[in-house]
C-alpha cells in the first residue's frame, strides 16, 4: 500500500512517516504543495494525506486539481484543530475524511485503515461495489451484465455513493458532494435523483441497492 504524505511540518511528517513505515506502508513525503501535487497527479498512490497550509500550493487547491483530473485516490485532510470551515470545505471538495491536529498516530491509523479496508475499490479509475461497476474514465456503468445508462448528475451521485459503500451519507453530505455550493437546502432534487437511480438500478419488483435511512440519509449496500 502506497501512501503519499503532503506535509511541510517536518516534525509531523517524520512522526507519521515513521509510524506508517513500521506498519508496513510505503510512504512518500512531499514537503511543499507543488511537489505534492505532482506526486498526487501520478495517480500511483492508494491514499493521500494532505495538509492544508503548505508552501507553493495549499491543500484545497491540490484537492481541487486531483478531482478535476478525476483521480479517485482517497484523501484524508490534516487540518488544524478547530478549523471547522476547513473541514467542511475539504469534504465539499471531495476529500473523504479529515483528522484534526494534533492527532494521535492511532487515530490517524484508524482513519487510514478505514479508507483502505474497502476491498471493492479496485483502482483509481474504476469503482466496484457488489455487482455495480463504475468506470470514471469512460463513464460507463454496468450492473452485473447489464449496461446502465445514466445522465451526468446521476453518474456523479452514484459515484459518490459507491465511494462510501455501506456508509450512511446525510442529505447535506450528498448535496455538497454532488451539487456543490449552490444547492438550495430546501430542494428535493436529491430525493428525485435517488428515485431515478433506483429505477435504473433496481431489477424488476426490487428496490435496488440504495437504502433510505430514516432521519439520517442514504446508504448504498455493498452486498447487493
Binding residues for Ca ion, per CB under 5 A? 8, 51, 53
Strand pairing class (47-51; 75-80): parallel
**Closer residue to Ca ion, CB minimum distance, 7 or 128:** 7
Q: Smallest gap, in angstroms, from Cβ of residue 167 to Ca ion? A: 29
Q: Smallest gap, in angstroms, from Cβ of residue 16 to Ca ion? A: 13
Q: Which residue number has the CB closest to Ca ion?
A: 53
If 0-12 CB within 10 Å is exposed, 13-18 middle and 19+ buried, where does residue 217 land?
A: middle
Q: Smallest gap, in angstroms, from Cβ of residue 43 to Ca ion? A: 24
DSSP string, 103-144: --HHHHHHHHHHHHT-TT--SSSEEEETTEEEETTTTEEEET
**Closer residue to Ca ion, CB minimum distance, 101 or 140:** 101
> CB of 141 within 8 A of CB of 135?
yes
> CB of 17 within 8 A of CB of 27?
yes
Q: Smallest gap, in angstroms, from Cβ of residue 65 to Ca ion? A: 18
Q: Smallest gap, in angstroms, from Cβ of residue 217 to Ca ion? A: 32
**Closer residue to Ca ion, CB minimum distance, 51 or 86:** 51
**Closer residue to Ca ion, CB minimum distance, 53 or 116:** 53
Residues 6+ apart with CB under 8 A from 35: 56
- Closest to 150 in 3D by CA, of 117, 193, 191, 109: 193
Residues 6+ apart with CB under 8 A from 3: 20, 25, 26, 27, 28, 45, 46, 47, 48, 49, 112
Q: Smallest gap, in angstroms, from Cβ of residue 28 to Ca ion? A: 17
- Residue 221 corresponds to which cell in the numbers above? 449496500
**Closer residue to Ca ion, CB minimum distance, 98 or 155:** 98
> CB of 147 within 8 A of CB of 141?
yes
**Closer residue to Ca ion, CB minimum distance, 53 or 189:** 53
Amino acid at each position: 500500500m502506497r501512501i503519499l504524505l503532503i506535509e511541510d511540518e517536518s516534525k509531523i511528517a517524520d512522526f507519521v512517516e515513521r509510524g506508517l513505515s513500521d506498519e508496513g506502508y510505503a510512504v512518500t513525503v512531499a514537503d511543499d504543495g507543488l511537489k505534492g501535487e505532482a506526486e498526487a497527479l501520478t495517480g500511483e498512490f492508494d491514499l493521500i494525506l494532505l495538509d492544508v497550509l503548505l508552501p507553493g500550493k495549499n491543500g484545497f487547491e491540490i484537492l481541487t486539481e486531483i478531482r478535476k483530473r478525476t483521480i479517485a485516490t482517497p484523501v484524508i485532510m490534516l487540518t488544524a484543530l478547530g478549523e471547522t470551515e476547513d473541514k467542511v470545505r475539504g469534504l465539499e471538495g471531495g476529500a473523504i475524511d479529515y483528522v484534526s491536529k494534533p492527532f494521535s498516530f492511532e487515530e490517524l491509523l484508524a482513519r487510514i485503515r478505514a479508507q483502505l479496508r474497502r476491498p471493492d475499490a479496485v483502482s483509481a479509475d474504476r469503482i466496484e461495489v457488489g455487482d455495480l461497476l463504475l468506470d470514471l474514465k469512460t463513464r460507463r456503468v454496468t450492473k452485473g451484465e447489464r449496461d446502465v445508462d445514466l445522465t451526468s448528475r446521476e453518474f456523479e451521485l452514484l459515484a459518490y455513493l459507491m465511494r462510501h459503500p455501506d456508509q450512511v451519507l446525510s442529505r447535506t453530505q450528498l448535496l455538497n458532494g454532488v451539487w456543490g455550493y449552490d444547492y438550495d437546502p430546501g430542494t428535493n432534487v436529491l430525493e428525485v435523483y435517488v428515485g431515478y437511480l433506483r429505477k435504473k438500478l433496481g431489477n424488476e419488483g426490487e428496490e435496488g441497492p440504495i437504502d433510505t435511512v430514516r432521519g439520517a440519509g442514504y446508504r448504498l449496500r455493498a452486498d447487493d
